[in-house]
Amino acid sequence: MTPRFTSTYTGHSGRTYLFEWFDANSIDGIPREQIKQAYAIAFHGDGFLVVNNVKKPGSYSLIGGSVEPGEHPDETLVREIKEEANMKVLSYKLLGYQKVTDMSGTDPVCYQLRYVARVEPYGPFVADPAGSVTEIITCTKDNYKQYFDWGEIGDWVVGRSYLEFDT
C-alpha cells in the first residue's frame, strides 16, 4: 500500500523519523505488537478536545496514549479518553494510522492509530489519574494550529475527522 503522505521529523534526541500516513478503516495487516498508540480527534460540543501535558507545559496533544500489553487499540482509546478527560466515548471510527520509522535504525518500526470519536462528560474533569493532563481545551479546525501543528498529516487527520462527523 502506498502512503497518502510522508514527512520527516527530527526529535529532541536528534534522531530523525519518517512518518507515513495511511488511510484505513481496519487494523488488519498491521503487526499488533507494533501498534503503540491510539489517539482521537474527540468531538464534544462545538469542537474537539486537546490536552495540556504536565511533562511538557504548553505542549498540547490529542487525547490518547499507549496501548497496554494484551489491550486492543479500541480499548486503549476508550480507556485513555476516560482517564485523560473523564469522558465517555459515544461512537468512534478509525481514520488511519501513521507508520513511524526511526531512520537511525535504533528503534523498531511502530504504528500510531488515529481515530475520530464523539464523547460526553461523565462529570467535571478533576485530574488525570496519571497526573499528566493539567488542562483540556476545545479546538476547532480554524484554531487548532495554535495548540499543535503536525503539518500535512495533521491537516488531513483534522479535516477528515470533520467530514466523518459533519460537525
Backbone angles phi, psi at 110, to 5 degrees: -135, 165
pLDDT of residue 166: 67
pLDDT of residue 53: 75
pLDDT of residue 137: 92
pLDDT of residue 57: 74
Contact 132, 59 (CB under 8 A): no
| DSSP character string of 84-121 | HH-EEEEEEEEEEEEEEEETTSSSPPEEEEEEEEEEEE
Angle at the Cα of 53 from the Cα atoms of 132 and 142, rounded to 5 degrees: 140
Matching CATH number, 5-165, of 2.40.50.140, 3.40.920.10, 3.90.79.10, 2.60.40.1150: 3.90.79.10
pLDDT of residue 130: 81
- Tell the residue number behind the cell numbers 459533519, with chain if given: 166
Mean pLDDT, consecutive 10-residue stretches, the chain (167 aa), reads 93 92 95 97 95 79 94 97 95 97 94 98 85 88 91 93 79
Delimit the domains of the chain by residue range.
5-165
| Predicted model pTM | 0.93
pLDDT of residue 167: 46
Category of 18 on φ-ψ map: left (φ > 0), alpha (ψ -120 to 50) or beta: beta
What end-to-end distance do the CA atoms of the chain give, in Å? 30
pLDDT of residue 164: 86
